[in-house]
Amino acid sequence: SYVLTQPPSMSVAPGKTASIPCGGNSLQTKSVHWYQLKAGQAPVSVMVYGSDRPSGIPERFSGSISDNTATLTISRVEAGDEADYFCQVFDSASEHSVFGGGTKLTVL
Amino acid sequence: EVQLLESGGGFVQPGGSLRLFCAASGFTFSDFAMNWVRLVPGKGLEWVSGISNSGGSTHYADSVKGRFTVSRDNSKNSLFLQMNSLRVDDTAVYYCSKDEGGIAARVFEYWGQGIRVTVSS
């Protein structure tokens, strides 16, 4: 089955930039989506189709894909950005949706 | 405003059953596929099941296939997940999620607050 790989954790100082990677085989051929999960809250879609921001998501959030790695970038990080971030793709071979293991972003 | 409200979770012993419900509002329910996704403690998000907008197509993760059944009632804007033969590793917070289009498991556009399911002896 298809696998997406994320680092379990990252930390960043307020005002700095966080770049969260998501790796997968031939990832550039797939549509990658990102979700933010804060404790006790509903998950939120923060990036779709690699680099499209859903309505209401700050411009500080951006996305990109290069070769086998998708990256969610958060500029000028704020305390409120502290959350778990998950990447996700649809695997057409299995007709299943697949999530990465998630990255816990800590704002120092 | 899209709203998704899950209910029906709780505590159950291994081998038992539970039926989850998701009440949807704020959009034309019959136009969109729906999904169940769970947050497993210490393991992250796992897609569980999806159903097309018409209900004619369903998909399941390998871990639940044959034990869980997803269904919907478009006349009542409701989504269901019948969970049988529950195992300890089914313990999770289960989320109802609206897909972006009519085919399931593509993009999880909106999510509910989640409902906890605990399977333990």
Q: What percent of chain A has pLDDT over 70?
A: 100
In angstroms, the separation between the Cα of residue B93 and the nearest Cα of chain A is 10
What pLDDT is stored for residue B103 in this prediction?
86
pLDDT above 90 (res B105): no
pLDDT by residue (tens digit) across A15-61? 999 999 999 999 999 999 999 999 889 999 999 999 999 999 999 99
Of A102, A98, A105, the C-alpha closest to A82 is A105
pLDDT by residue (tens digit) across A58-79? 999 999 999 899 999 999 999 9
Q: Taking CB atoms and an 8 Å limit, are A97 and B50 in contact across chains? A: yes
Nearest CB neighbour to A101, from listed B39, B44, B110: B44
Tokens of A11: 């930390």
Q: Which of A34, A41, A89, A97 to mutate to test the interface with B (most CBs of B within 10 A)?
A: A97
Query: Residue A63: how many CB atoms within 10 A of its CB?
Result: 22
Question: What is the phi/psi pair of residue A79, to 5°?
Answer: -55, -35
pLDDT by residue (tens digit) across B15-64? 999 999 999 999 999 999 999 999 998 899 999 999 999 999 999 999 99
Residue listed under structure tokens 């969970």: B83
Question: What is the phi/psi pair of residue A12, to 5°?
Answer: -150, 145
In angstroms, the separation between the Cα of residue A39 and the nearest Cα of chain B is 11
Q: Which three-class secondary structure state does DSSP give residue B91?
A: coil
